[in-house]
Structure 1
Amino acid sequence: MDKLWTDEAWEDFLNLHSDKKLVKRLDALLKDIDRNGYSGIGKPEPLKDDLSGYWSRRIDEYNRIVYRIIEESEKSYVEILQCGTHYHK
């Protein structure tokens, strides 16, 4: 699936890029999201309140990826809202 990064998520990604272990883990999570959607590694869980409709997965103890899958008639893609320290509403 194609990825759609918000500005905040892309900034988070660039900040994580200095830690090769986190980048490797994030890459594994993104591949798993492509294969399994809302199940798989990283303890996927649906979010509530302002982030209803989004899901999170653990990158590590402190960092999470927040995403949702958008399915359109011709293709699906993953919208990545955040991939840094916990949730920002």
Structure 2
Amino acid sequence: MGLAAGSRSWPIGRSANWRGNWPPRRPAAPAPPDWKLESIRTGSGPKALRVHVGDCAMSGGKPLGREEARRMLAEGVEPCPYCNPENPLGMTG
């Protein structure tokens, strides 16, 4: 199966299945959590440091639910200064 003289296209059969030998695609990454809790390790165990919006790139962290994130902020855990999680949680002011 070769190319015809002067032809610039792929041989028949090859163009229809050009991805046939490639490995399968990776599964899609899971959706980020709605909220995250950044913590630090201390001598007495982990300590809550900041609450983040789920897609904030400034921190990884433990996933939180909406009510848990609101409670953490109300208890004095610092909000992230970059993603400002208190705004979408309705806790500004």
TM-score interval for Structure 1 and Structure 2 normalised by the shorter chain: under 0.3
Which structure has more RCO (C-alpha within 8 Å, separation ≥ 6)? 1
TM-score by length of 2: 0.22
Q: Which structure has the greater CA radius of gyration?
A: 2
